[in-house]
């Protein structure tokens, strides 16, 4: 297992290098000139040259790439063009709210979805299975924006306006435990509600498919009851798609939900990235994009390692 993990992380290095080159080319070669995006089309030649020199864009491309890689490796990411804040501080300060806003919801809706999927597999074809499937489909059909507006109005705004009782804060965020807890409850409930339908359908389908395999029929022939089969055999064998779905979702949970953070005015990574895009802050956008891409690569490798621990048949080819 240690050899497998070491080889997996070594295999990740060329992938990370390839991703970094691709992101660098997109931002520095293919895209529009960031100097004109920031200064506008009416900028003078002198202003353009000064800005290009301050951003290091007057150097050869390979030098720019090596500098950007050095910044990432040392986590000394430079400064924001618009706010003049250290990008490292922006990332660290925004990571906490983003994780608090979405990570509890990830574990909550994943746990509930797995349980509902197993219930559907246990009572498949009955009214219980059909009712859960219908509710999951209805949940999938409701717009994320509609759920946010509905929840904010009826669970946060209306109780204060009508009865003078604050159930959930309408917007905002406070740093420090436990001050931030009231501000993350409603966004986490919204994320859980929206994601529950999709995940329940997914886990139901893989659980029902596993129940129809040959080894399940053999277990039934030997007298094993459905409950034992479901929790001792089926749950163990569907852990690979469960791990893959949960772990691959983690980078997007860490970087936050752009729409959710903007709607509830939570200063997470998504909120900061959107403001960087609006202000044409090239350096922040490029760095955040690179970090998100790296997180996706790393979490995919971690998912493979966890899958090999769950199922020894998974090998590195």
Q: Which residue range(s) make up the domain with 45?
A: 2-74
Residue 239 pLDDT: 82
φ, ψ of residue 77 in degrees (nearest 5):
-90, 5
- Residues 133 and 274 both lie in one domain: yes
DSSP 245-260: HHHHHHHHHHS--HHH
Within a domain: 295: no
- Residues 134 and 227 both lie in one domain: yes
- Residues 111 and 68 both lie in one domain: no
| Res 40 pLDDT > 90 | no
Q: What is the mean pLDDT of the chain?
A: 83
Within a domain: 301: no
| Res 295 pLDDT > 80 | yes
Within a domain: 182: yes
| Res 31 pLDDT > 70 | no
- Residues 229 and 150 both lie in one domain: yes
- Residues 112 and 229 both lie in one domain: yes
Within a domain: 86: no
Domain count, the chain: 2
CA distance 201 to 245: 13
Out of 74, 97, 114, pick the residue that ends a domain: 74
Q: Binning pLDDT at 50, 70 and 90, where does residue 132 land?
A: very high
- Residues 214 and 274 both lie in one domain: yes
Handedness of CA 162, 168, 170, 172 (dihedral sign): positive
Within a domain: 302: no
Torsion (CA) 289, 33, 75, 5 in degrees, nearest 10: 40
| Res 98 pLDDT > 70 | yes
Within a domain: 251: yes
- Residues 159 and 14 both lie in one domain: no
- Residues 190 and 131 both lie in one domain: yes
| Res 48 pLDDT > 60 | yes
DSSP 163-225: IS--SS-SS----STTTTHHHHHHHHHHHHHHHHHHHHHHHHHHHHHHHTSHHHHHHHHTT--
Residue 189 pLDDT: 92
- Residues 128 and 253 both lie in one domain: yes
Span 144-153, average pLDDT: 89
Cβ(255)–Cβ(98) under 8 Å? Answer: yes
Within a domain: 59: yes
Among 19-28, 53-62, 98-107, 175-184, whose mean pLDDT is lowest? 53-62
Residue 131 pLDDT: 93
The structure's pTM equals 0.80
DSSP 28-88: IIIS--HHHHHH-TT--HHHHHHHHHHTTTTS-HHHHHHHHHHHHHHT---B-TTT--BHH
- Residues 66 and 123 both lie in one domain: no
- Convert the pLDDT of each residue in 167-211 to its tens digit: 888 888 888 888 889 899 999 999 899 889 889 999 988 888 888
| Res 256 pLDDT > 70 | no
Within a domain: 96: no
- Residues 14 and 125 both lie in one domain: no
Span 75-89, average pLDDT: 82
| Res 317 pLDDT > 60 | no
- Residues 193 and 61 both lie in one domain: no
| Res 215 pLDDT > 70 | yes
Give percent above pLDDT 90 in the chain.
6
| Res 136 pLDDT > 80 | yes
């Amino acid at each position: 297992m240690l050899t497998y993990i070491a080889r997996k992380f070594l295999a990740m290095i060329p992938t990370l290098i390839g991703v970094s080159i691709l992101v660098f080319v997109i931002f520095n070669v293919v895209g529009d000139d960031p100097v004109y995006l920031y200064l506008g089309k009416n900028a003078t030649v002198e202003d353009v040259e000064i800005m290009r020199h301050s951003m290091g864009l007057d150097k050869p491309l390979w030098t720019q790439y090596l500098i950007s890689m050095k910044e990432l490796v040392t986590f000394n990411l430079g400064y924001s063009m618009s706010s003049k804040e250290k990008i490292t501080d922006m990332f660290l300060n925004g990571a906490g709210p983003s994780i608090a806003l979405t990570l509890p919801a990830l574990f909550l809706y994943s746990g509930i979805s797995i349980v509902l999927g197993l219930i559907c597999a246990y009572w498949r074809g009955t009214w219980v299975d059909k009712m859960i499937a219908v509710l999951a489909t209805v949940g999938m059909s409701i717009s994320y924006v509609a759920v946010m507006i509905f929840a904010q109005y009826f669970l946060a705004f209306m109780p204060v306006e009508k009865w003078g009782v604050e159930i959930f804060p309408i917007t905002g965020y406070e740093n420090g435990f436990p001050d931030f807890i009231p501000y993350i409850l409603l966004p986490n409930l919204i994320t859980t509600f929206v994601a529950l339908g999709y995940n329940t359908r997914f886990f139901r389908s893989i659980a029902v498919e596993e129940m129809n395999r040959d080894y399940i029929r053999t277990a039934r022939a030997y007298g094993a009851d459905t409950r034992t089969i479901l929790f001792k055999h089926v749950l163990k064998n569907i852990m690979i798609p469960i791990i893959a779905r949960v772990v691959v979702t983690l980078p997007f949970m860490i970087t936050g939900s752009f729409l959710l953070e903007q709607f509830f005015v939570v200063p997470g990574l998504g909120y900061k990235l959107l403001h960087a895009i609006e202000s044409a802050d090239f350096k922040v956008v490029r760095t955040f994009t690179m970090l998100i891409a790296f997180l996706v690569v790393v979490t995919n490798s971690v998912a493979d390692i966890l899958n090999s621990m769950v199922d020894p048949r998974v090998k590195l080819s």
